[in-house]
Amino acid sequence: MAIVKMSKFSLFAFDSERENLLHELQKFGYVHFDSLDDKEDLLDEGLETVTIPESIGEVDEEISKVKYAIDLLSKYDERETGIKAMIKGKESLSFEELEGRAAKIDYLPVYNELRQLASELDRINVKIKDLESQINEYYHWKGLNYPINDLNSLRQVKVFMGIIPKKMKENFNKDSLDLNYTYIEAISEDKDNVYLFAMSLEDEAEAFNEILRNNSFSSIKLEGEKTPREEINTINNEISSLSVKSGEITAKIKELSKNLPDFEIMYEYLMNKKLRLMASENFLRTDKVNVISGYIPTDMEEEFENAVKKSLKDAYYLEIKEAEKDDPNVPVLLKNSKFTETFESLTSMYALPLYNEIDPTPLLAPFYLAFFGMMVGDAGYGIIMLIGTLIALRVANLSESQEKFIRFFHYLSYSTIAWGVIYGSYFGGIIPIKGLVDPANQYQELLVGSMVFGLIHLFFGLGIKGYMYIREKKYFDALCDVGFWYMAVAGGIVFLLTIVTPMAAIVKTISLAVMVIGMVGIVLTAGRSAASVGGKLAGGLYELYGISGYVGDIVSYSRLMALGLSGGFIASSINMMIDMLFSKGILGIIIGIVVFLVGQLFNIFLSLLGAYVHTLRLTYVEFFGKFYEGGGRNFKLFRNKTKYINLK
């Protein structure tokens, strides 16, 4: 189980048969097309890049219509959500079933009706907002009991309506005391303004207007025939009528939401159809023939040939050969056991391996499992993970990615339980069962153990590098870049131990000799790629200085102990709080139960998150740093990533 062996194919087919060919290859799925538009040797021979068919525009338009309907109808979708939706899961269809379902769906009549209803609903909503803004204009003038139209038609007096800042009110009242032929009324106030209505005879209007200007008056002009209150009532009646219409239209749209599953099927079908059309941009062509190149899994050659033959009959030329091992353009597809494949996401997050590398997933999985459990280190938390993941796997209809994610934590739960039993930790010690190790009192032994695990992890990674050299028959490189490092680091560790721990003199002598040989070997060979002797020695000395990095790497594994202790101490603190609350009677017991549930759930979240991140760190930096290069290209299945269904 490792990197899937690839074969490269070259295919010559008539341009007229391209659509049939791509259709059959999409059913097959496991095709990764190689882009030929940068192959200058082929372009120099007169071949041209295949242009994407104009029909792509029609497909994009259809996708736009379907997406519009999905976005609109999703607001009124009455299907289950949350846990119920997860349990039910997405519908699973084969590619043939998807096409069959899509062929029976006539979505345009529903789409057109939705467009019409949505347009009418938008028009009503705009009208309602416009009416509401009119109400806001009248709102502060509700106390004005004069018809607006009558006020605008007065001839003998001049009417003033507007606002002055509230801070100017006292000054305005003082300035207005000497007016004899002006009627002033404060209709309403808010926190900032006073809403004024005034009538003044022509002889005094100019003087009053000057007072208003001096007090920052802003004029307001109201439109209408009735009093402001009557206008508001009329508008509210119109809004109510429009709201009824809006409700009727919304009910019709809600009724059409039963068509949402059909639109989702059409979306998935059209996205795959678009992918087929877009694939053409990878091809080259003559007047009548397409030149196609790409990669397929070697163990699927026969299925691939059958798909080509089914679509093209005998009018084609196909050549398949084993992909070159050292070609960096060969796409990478991983294939592992059911246990190991759940850890593939960790490898992908860092970088896929090159085609000529080894898949590090099976190698990192056991260490990740052990380190994660050690960092959480509570059997109670592990049991919760175990029960939760078992229920999800047994009850819920999960997609492939969801199932892998749940199984990932399912496997981690066993390690968490095992380390919890070793530590004797059950929800932070709420269940008094003695473990093999007491972290609170034996932290020094635990620290040493963590560093021993780290040393094993590092040496294992270094050993993988040696294996890769030996596999490629680079025995001298294996000795220089791996063997001497083993000798220098292992010899140095044993030599240091002989200083602090009584051991036979021969052990000290041998370890010193091994360390010195390793260091001398590093100095003499690590810079062997340099041109000059001085450059070789300088490179070797620089590499030897890197031995200090091993010290930092080994110390980094102390987090295995630290995270386990921190999670345990937090859980113990929560339990101490509960003991104090339980001693306070019934109310204390009730509050204590709540504190226990909330506190322990929060600590579970922190512990799992911390363990996930820090184990990743140990994997990516310390472990991968010893042997893994990465940078491989992902094998792209000739299928669109689905959103609403599971495509088998």
- Per-residue pLDDT tens for 361-386? 999 999 999 999 999 989 999 999 99
Residue 397: per-residue pLDDT: 84
3-class DSSP string for 483-534: HHHHHHHHHHHHHHHHHHCCCCHHHHHHHHHHHHHHHHHHHHHCCCCCCCHH
Indicate the helix (H) or strand (E) that contains 230.
helix 228-256
Look at residue 382 and give its three-state secondary structure.
helix
State the Cα–Cα distance between residues 30 and 329, nearest whole angstrom. 17
How does the average pLDDT of the chain come out, rounded? 89
* 16-32 core/surface letters (b: 16 or more CB in 10 A; e: else): ebbeebbbbbbbbebbb
Least confident of 54-68, 81-95, 405-419: 81-95
State the Cα–Cα distance between residues 382 and 437, nearest whole angstrom. 18
Of the candidates 46, 45, 47, 49, the one whose C-alpha atom is nearest the C-alpha of residue 37 is 49
State the Cα–Cα distance between residues 129 and 137, nearest whole angstrom. 13
Of the candidates 452, 454, 422, the one whose C-alpha atom is nearest the C-alpha of residue 436 is 422
620 secondary structure, DSSP code: I
Q: Which residues pair with 294 in a beta bridge?
A: 9, 33
Decide if pLDDT at 43 tops 70: no
State the Cα–Cα distance between residues 415 and 426, nearest whole angstrom. 14
Residue 336: per-residue pLDDT: 92
State the Cα–Cα distance between residues 186 and 172, nearest whole angstrom. 11
Mean pLDDT of 595-599: 86
Mean pLDDT of 303-307: 93
Residue 431: per-residue pLDDT: 82
Amino acid code (one letter) for 61: E
State the Cα–Cα distance between residues 308 and 451, nearest whole angstrom. 56
State the Cα–Cα distance between residues 178 and 164, nearest whole angstrom. 19
Residues 363 and 346: beta-carbon distance below 8 Å: no
178 C-beta neighbours (distance < 10 Å), count: 10
Domains and CATH numbers, the chain: 6-50+283-332 (3.30.70.2170), 146-226 (3.30.70.2750), 354-440+560-626 (no CATH), 474-555 (no CATH)
Residues 537 and 529: beta-carbon distance below 8 Å: no
Of the candidates 461, 467, 359, the one whose C-alpha atom is nearest the C-alpha of residue 2 is 359
State the Cα–Cα distance between residues 398 and 406, nearest whole angstrom. 9
* 370-398 core/surface letters (b: 16 or more CB in 10 A; e: else): bbbbbbbbbbbbbbbbbeebeebeeebeb
The dihedral of CA 220, 226, 229, 232: what is its sign? Answer: negative
- Distance from CA of residue 388 to its chain's centroid? 22
Residue bearing the bigger pLDDT, 619 or 398: 619
Residue 459: per-residue pLDDT: 92
Residues present in the chain in total: 648
Residue 467: per-residue pLDDT: 92
pLDDT tens string 452-503: 999 999 999 999 999 999 998 999 989 988 888 889 888 888 888 888 778 8
Mean pLDDT of 156-176: 90
Query: Residue 1's pLDDT band (boundaries 50, 70, 90)?
Result: low
State the Cα–Cα distance between residues 47 and 50, nearest whole angstrom. 9
Amino acid code (one letter) for 461: G
β pairing state of 48-49 and 284-285: antiparallel
Query: Residue 42's pLDDT band (boundaries 50, 70, 90)?
Result: low
Look at residue 199 and give its three-state secondary structure.
strand
Query: Residue 522's pLDDT band (boundaries 50, 70, 90)?
Result: confident
Residues 620 and 350: beta-carbon distance below 8 Å: yes
Residue 45: per-residue pLDDT: 66
Mean pLDDT of 281-294: 88
Q: Which residues pair with 450 in a beta bridge?
A: none
- Burial (0-12, 13-18, 19+ Cβ within 10 Å), 436: exposed
State the Cα–Cα distance between residues 128 and 361, nearest whole angstrom. 60
Residues 210 and 182: beta-carbon distance below 8 Å: no
Percentage of the chain exceeding pLDDT 70: 98
